[in-house]
């Protein structure tokens, strides 16, 4: 079992930055690939970024490349999403996801069994 709690969301102006955190509990965290997804109002949840259990492999959605950075600290059981140069279209609820069966990160939400409750990110223009 893995429990996930996101934090760090908020209201920011376009061009600003936020750092999201996802605190995990459960003995299998350090061997689990992790992902960040987001859901904008009226839209389906979409992939943002993912990271392997070691942190050596990362994937990004095209919309996140060059602006967002995913990282993890296994000693703290925490995954981060540093978001820079935020745009209004980045607005949504951001979720972290995990699955101890995954050592390689995946872009599909259907690959992950454990989800946090989400944190709201609002970017004003």
pLDDT band for position 112 (cuts 50, 70, 90): very high
Residues 6+ apart with CB under 8 A from 86: 12, 14, 15, 16, 17, 18, 67, 121, 123
pLDDT band for position 80 (cuts 50, 70, 90): very high
Q: Give the model's pLDDT for residue 32.
A: 85
In the predicted model, what is the mean pLDDT of residues 90-116?
A: 93
Does position 113 have pLDDT exceeding 80, yes or no?
yes
Enter the tokens of residue 69.
């950075």
Q: Give the model's pLDDT for residue 28.
A: 67
pLDDT band for position 27 (cuts 50, 70, 90): low
Q: Give the model's pLDDT for residue 42.
A: 94
Does position 19 have pLDDT exceeding 70, yes or no?
yes
For residue 12, count CB atoms less than 10 angstroms from its CB and return exposed for 0-12, middle for 13-18, buried for 19 or more. Answer: middle
């Amino acid at each position: 079992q893995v429990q996930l709690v996101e934090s760090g969301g908020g209201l920011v102006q376009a061009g600003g930055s936020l750092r999201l955190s996802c605190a995990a509990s459960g003995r299998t965290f350090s061997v689990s690939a992790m992902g960040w997804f987001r859901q904008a109002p009226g839209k389906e949840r979409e992939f943002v970024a993912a990271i392997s259990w070691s942190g050596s492999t990362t994937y990004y959605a095209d919309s996140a490349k060059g602006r967002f950075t995913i990282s993890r600290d296994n000693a703290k059981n925490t995954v981060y999403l540093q978001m820079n140069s935020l745009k209004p279209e980045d607005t949504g609820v951001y979720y972290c996801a995990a699955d101890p069966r995954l050592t390689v990160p995946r872009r599909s939400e259907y690959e992950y069994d454990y989800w946090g409750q989400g944190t709201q990110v609002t970017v004003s223009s």
